[in-house]
């Protein structure tokens, strides 16, 4: 079997002879409405998640920075106490 002559390929001939199957209009509408409902739910959930992600993006770095600043201040305070300042 080579790809140069697809007419001689039995598998492709079998696939070409298969009939197509269409879904009924009622099932199409039902499936479309379910998909749209899921997408609407996800978009609402993503909007809430985006707001909470912005909150985490701000709070996390602020808390980390505050912890580092408190640590640095304590190191300086103790160094000053050791050297008598």
Domain spans in the chain, listed from the N-terminal domain onward: 22-83
Positive or negative torsion for Cα 43, 45, 47, 49: negative
Contact at 8 Å (CB) between 30 and 38?
Answer: no
**Token pair 């080579």: residue:** 2
Q: Which residues contact 1 (CB under 8 A, 6 or more apart)?
A: 8, 9
Nearest by Cα to 34 from 26, 46, 44 = 26
Say what the pLDDT of residue 59 is.
Answer: 84
CA–CA dist 51, 44 (Å, integer): 11
Q: How far is CA 18 from the centre of its chain?
A: 38
Confidence of residue 3 (pLDDT cuts 50, 70, 90): low
Contact at 8 Å (CB) between 53 and 46?
Answer: no
Per the confidence metrics, is the pTM higher than 0.85? no
Confidence of residue 22 (pLDDT cuts 50, 70, 90): confident
Higher-confidence position of 17 and 4? 17
């Amino acid at each position: 079997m080579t790809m140069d002559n697809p007419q001689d390929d039995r598998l492709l001939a079998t696939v070409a002879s298969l009939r197509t199957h269409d879904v009924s209009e009622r099932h199409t509408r039902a499936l479309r409405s379910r998909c749209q409902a899921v997408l609407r739910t996800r978009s609402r959930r993503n909007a809430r998640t985006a707001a909470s992600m912005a909150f985490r993006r701000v709070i996390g770095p602020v808390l980390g920075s505050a912890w580092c600043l408190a640590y640095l201040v304590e190191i300086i305070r103790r160094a000053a106490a050791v050297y008598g300042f």
